[in-house]
């Protein structure tokens, strides 16, 4: 690949809302999260939803707050809430071809867990394209945008950030990657103007980002 990404050897992609539109699957996951929280914490569904959103915004992942403040078993939570029907996700041959053609290694870095990434990639027809998945469990439950999430990714996958691209739909998750030396790309509807210095590239989706000029 030439141009702005000619120096890239490692390609790191977020999963949800990056490689597929999250609402396709996340309504079902969200319902299971809320029900689990209500049961485990002993609160109403409305309060459980408030806790779910509060911990997500505070820590980057709901499960972190639940484990820290309520003693919830993080791995049990992740396995339970991702036990949903992944057949709602459809293969995307163009996306598979574009990512598959990239030179070098390809990784998933997700705040999901409990087998979520594996099942999502299988449904999308992308399983064989990626060299490794680095999920929340692999990060020892340090979610993006916590700095440890990125350090652990770099160490586990032997990534040289200056030769790697970090692709995300969530703006706040790009700043720590930029600080480590990653080239960064924001995909999706969020397009801040002026663009922060830590956002190197922007596109409406991953396919638009990777299509040859």
Six-digit token pair at 170?
Answer: 């969530």
User: What is the reported pLDDT for 2?
Assistant: 55
Q: In angstroms, rounded to a whole number, what is the distance separating the alpha carbons of residues 54 and 47?
A: 10
User: What is the reported pLDDT for 16?
Assistant: 94
Report the topology of domain 24-81: DNA polymerase; domain 1 (1.10.150)
φ, ψ for residue 126, nearest 5 deg: -115, 0
- Do 69 and 83 contact (CB within 8 A), yes or no? no
User: What is the reported pLDDT for 1?
Assistant: 56
Contacts of 13 (CB under 8 A, 6+ apart): 19, 99, 106, 107, 108, 109, 167, 206
- E-strand ranges in the chain read 10-13, 105-109, 132-134, 164-168, 183-187, 201-203
pTM of the model: 0.94
User: What is the reported pLDDT for 24?
Assistant: 77
Q: How confident is the chain (213 residues) per 10-residue block, as mean pLDDT?
A: 86 96 87 97 97 95 96 96 94 96 97 96 96 97 96 98 97 97 96 93 96 83
Strand partners, 187: 203
- Do 45 and 38 contact (CB within 8 A), yes or no? yes
Q: Is the peptide bond before 209 cis (omega within 30 degrees of 0)?
A: no
φ, ψ for residue 45, nearest 5 deg: -60, -40
φ, ψ for residue 204, nearest 5 deg: -65, -30
Report the topology of domain 3-20+90-210: Rossmann fold (3.40.50)
What are the residue boundaries of the structural domains of the chain, listed by start? 3-20+90-210, 24-81
């Amino acid at each position: 690949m030439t141009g702005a990404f000619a120096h890239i050897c490692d390609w790191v992609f977020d999963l949800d809302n990056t490689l597929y539109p999250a609402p396709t699957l996340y309504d079902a996951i969200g319902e299971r999260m809320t029900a689990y929280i209500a049961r485990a914490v002993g609160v109403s569904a409305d309060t459980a939803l408030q806790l779910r959103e509060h911990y997500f915004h505070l820590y980057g992942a709901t499960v972190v707050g639940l484990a820290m403040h309520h003693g919830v078993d993080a791995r049990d939570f992740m396995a339970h809430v991702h036990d949903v029907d992944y057949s709602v996700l459809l293969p995307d041959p163009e996306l598979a071809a574009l990512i598959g053609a990239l030179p070098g290694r390809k990784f998933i870095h997700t705040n999901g867990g409990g087998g979520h990434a594996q099942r999502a990639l299988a449904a999308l027809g992308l399983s064989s394209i990626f060299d490794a998945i680095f999920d929340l469990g692999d990060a020892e439950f340090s979610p993006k945008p916590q700095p440890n999430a990125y350090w652990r990714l770099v160490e586990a996958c032997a990534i040289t950030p200056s030769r790697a691209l970090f692709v995300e739909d969530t703006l706040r998750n790009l700043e720590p990657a930029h600080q480590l030396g990653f080239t960064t790309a924001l995909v999706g509807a969020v397009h801040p103007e002026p663009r922060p210095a830590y956002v190197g590239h922007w596109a409406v989706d991953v396919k638009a980002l990777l299509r040859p000029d």
